[in-house]
Structure 1
Amino acid sequence: MEPELFAWGANSYGQLGLGHKEDVLVPQALTDISCKCQDVASISGGGGHSAVTTGTGQLFVCGHNKDGQLGLNHTEDVLHFTLCTALSGFCVKQVACGWDFTIILVGSGLVLSCGSNSFGQLGLPQISGLCLIPRKIESLKEKVVNVAAGLRHALAATDSGSVLQWGTGMASRAKRASQGKALPLFLTAKEPCEVAGLDDVKVKAVAAGSYHSVSLTDEGHLYVWGSNKHGQLVSRDIFLAEPKKIDTHCFSHEKIGAVWSGWTHLVAQTGGQCFSWGWNEHGMCGDGTEANAHVPKPVKALGSAKQILIGCGAGHSMALCQTPH
């Protein structure tokens, strides 16, 4: 039996790819999709747009397009998943959708971006308005292996293990918290700028929330910075201007294998457990309560099931599990 792609939830811009703009309360199969579902390699969602990558390196997009975030060279919303033909010469490896922009990593390690650049989130300082087709971020000279998009900032992990950040989305909160102290350059940069404080580690993956950033090192440790309004950074500070390591005892001293971020909560996977913490008003931490979790907690309801894939939305979490027999 061939796999099917299902979509549900908010749909006011056609971001579900179902051909209309009505919200969908129960998962509905996409019947009119121009790529084969068995070819789908990843799924990503932003403020009001969605993106699917295929195993052959194509990018399909739909939804909100007022700022050109779909990369289709126009600003009309798109109701069905549509091939981004501007990328026909590239093999797309990963896509990250922000609020009103899109970051695209291609096989050669280059990064392209499209959409709104009002906060410098495209990493293209030469563009003041909208970018309607994906453009290469020229100042990224090193090969990139992983990208992430927050509300109005973006991250890239390079082949050598350093992290670059751009977009000023976190700057106003940083200024309020800093009480006049100078901010690190990467919090106000409009093109890729190295994140200070990660010199002694090698980062392999990045994640981003609305106003925070996360790095996962090759040794399985997490470093976090940005807003801690909901306890998502496991700190007593309201804002962390530089990366801080989350103590390994928070994860039963297990190495972190992968990390995901919603707008204000995080989920991490170790060899044996799934942990979650941060904003929990809608129960997305999975601990049976709606109280914010200021320290990582095991998602006990998943038991001993092996999590194959995990995903986070603004205020929800998902896990594809395999239960041992």
Structure 2
Amino acid sequence: MTAKKELLGSLLFAWGANSYGQLGLGHKEDVLLPVRVTQGLASIGNIKCLVGGGGHSAIITDDRTIWTCGSNAFGQLGLPQHLGESTLPLPIKTLNGKAVEIAAGLRHALAVTAEKGLVFQWGVGMKSLANRGLQTLPVPAFMSAREPCEVPGFGHVKVKHVSAGAYHSACITDQGWLFVWGSNKYGQLLSSDDFLPLPFFIQPHHFEGEKITLVRSGWTHIVARTERGQVYTWGRADYGQLGRKIKSTQDSMCKSNVIQSRFTPEKVPELTGASQITCGSEHSLAAVGDSILSWGWNEHGMCGDGTEVNISEPRQISFFRNYIPAAIGTGAGHSMVLCRSAGQSGGDFKACPEEQAVCQGNPETATT
């Protein structure tokens, strides 16, 4: 079954912060509850993958073209000829290859190409931190680009998936290796260096030796899923964005023990077997079975529960109990879900696991 037939009849919903037009609705007003998108992002073709950044969103359509909308103040739309924001999606025409996955950070974005598994980055969000962190060393060209620019260091491997934080990026290869680069201010890159200008390999012992099949980044935290479906989180945790309690030694009064537990990858049992995971700045969504779970920062209502109260552990979004998720996406303060009604035939990504792996990952098929 082709992806076009598979997604026929699916519905696109979006909600949350929209001050730059990042929801693709043609306006810039915030949306507190999920609203069906009937123009913009929903009118340009069948959707393969969707993501959101600080004030911008990006999707891949079935012809492998990337479309972006929202803020372009730092070149994060990948459209150097377009000044200012866009409330409706525009295509990127300068990517060297067909896109199979995308990721959006605070002020940058990434893509993986189908042919060689290369990584491209654009947006200048990391540049100032790179200047300070590298001092007299040159800043890599891909950190200063306003259109897709290749990230060096992957000539010997094939990258399958990418992820972007506020000022860091991550990717995994077809062998299940995890690489990271950028800012390490909150220890989210598991390195002793403050800034990593080039891809850095994270050792598998952090995940009990298992291969990584999916990686997602918040602004300053990371979520990773292993080949057995275990989900690990680490990094900053003050909005509940790790989805778990922060551990410390029972008899210790030393704050550093609490900080160390945040910087150590640990499992979140409620997310075991998640087929899809996506992170906003400090909130996340996950598809576990036919349920959509959310947790973390909720100031703009992006956790989808009708409140603006932070959620510290994964919780099902009741609005979607009669829907089956096909794809999920998040921006800094907004969320999107592509789904179908539970009684509707077609549109379920479970029927086509290879396409699910392309969009958000599948623990059964992914080398993702």
- 1:100 and 2:100 are equivalent in the alignment: no
What does residue 219 of structure 1 align with? 175
Q: Residues 118 and 150 of structure 2 are in contact (CA less than 8 Å); yes or no, is this contact kept in structure 1?
A: yes
What's the secondary structure of 1:291's corresponding residue? helix
CA shift digits 1:266-325 (9 cap, x unpaired):
1211133322222233454435335244754331x6299544444434335565657xxx
Q: Mapping of 1:295-310 within 5 angstroms?
A: 296-299=264-267, 302=269, 305-310=272-277
Correspondence for 2:75 among 98, 101, 120: 120
- 1:210 and 2:136 are equivalent in the alignment: no
Q: Aligned pair in 2 of structure 1 residues 313, 62: CA closer, same or farther (>3 Å)? A: closer
Q: Residues 59 and 92 of structure 1 are in contact (CA less than 8 Å); yes or no, is this contact kept in structure 2?
A: no
What displacement does 1:265 show?
0.9
Mean alpha-carbon deviation: is it higher for 63-72 or for 111-120? Answer: 63-72
For 2:239 and 2:17, how far apart are their aligned partners in 1? 25
Structure whose residues are more often helix by fraction: 2
TM-score (norm 2): 0.66
Instruction: Mark the runs of 5 or more structure 2 residues left unpaired by the alignment.
Output: 1-6, 248-257, 290-368
Q: Residues 53 and 280 of structure 2 are in contact (CA less than 8 Å); yes or no, is this contact kept in structure 1?
A: no
Q: Mapping of 1:154-303 within 5 angstroms?
A: 154-159=109-114, 160-272=116-228, 273-282=230-239, 284-285=241-242, 286=244, 288-289=246-247, 290-293=258-261, 296-299=264-267, 302=269
For 2:96 and 2:227, how far apart are their aligned partners in 1? 34
For 1:252 and 1:209, how far apart are their aligned partners in 2? 24
What displacement does 1:260 show?
1.5
Q: Aligned pair in 2 of structure 1 residues 187, 293: CA closer, same or farther (>3 Å)? A: farther
Q: Calculate percent identity across the aligned residue pairs.
A: 45
What displacement does 1:197 show?
1.4
Name the count of aligned residue pairs.
268
TM-score (norm 1): 0.75
For 1:292 and 1:263, how far apart are their aligned partners in 2? 18
What does residue 65 of structure 2 align with? 110
Q: Residues 231 and 271 of structure 2 are in contact (CA less than 8 Å); yes or no, is this contact kept in structure 1?
A: no
What's the secondary structure of 2:265's corresponding residue? strand
Q: Residues 236 and 263 of structure 2 are in contact (CA less than 8 Å); yes or no, is this contact kept in structure 1?
A: no
CA shift digits 1:47-90 (9 cap, x unpaired):
xxxxxxx7646543334333222223333444551425234241
CA shift digits 1:12-53 (9 cap, x unpaired):
xxxxxxxxxxxxxxxxxxxxxxxxxxxxxxxxxxxxxxxxxx
Q: Aligned pair in 2 of structure 1 residues 280, 97: CA closer, same or farther (>3 Å)? A: same
Q: Aligned pair in 2 of structure 1 residues 190, 258: CA closer, same or farther (>3 Å)? A: same
Instruction: Mark the runs of 5 or more structure 1 residues left unpaired by the alignment.
Output: 1-53
What displacement does 1:99 show?
1.3
What does residue 13 of structure 2 align with? 60
Letter in 1 for 2:148: P
User: What is the CA RMSD across the aligned residues, in angstroms?
Assistant: 2.5
Q: Residues 215 and 223 of structure 1 are in contact (CA less than 8 Å); yes or no, is this contact kept in structure 2?
A: yes
For 1:149 and 1:84, how far apart are their aligned partners in 2? 23
Q: Aligned pair in 2 of structure 1 residues 278, 293: CA closer, same or farther (>3 Å)? A: farther
Q: Aligned pair in 2 of structure 1 residues 84, 186: CA closer, same or farther (>3 Å)? A: farther
For 1:169 and 1:117, how far apart are their aligned partners in 2? 11
- 1:145 and 2:112 are equivalent in the alignment: no
Q: Residues 70 and 84 of structure 1 are in contact (CA less than 8 Å); yes or no, is this contact kept in structure 2?
A: no
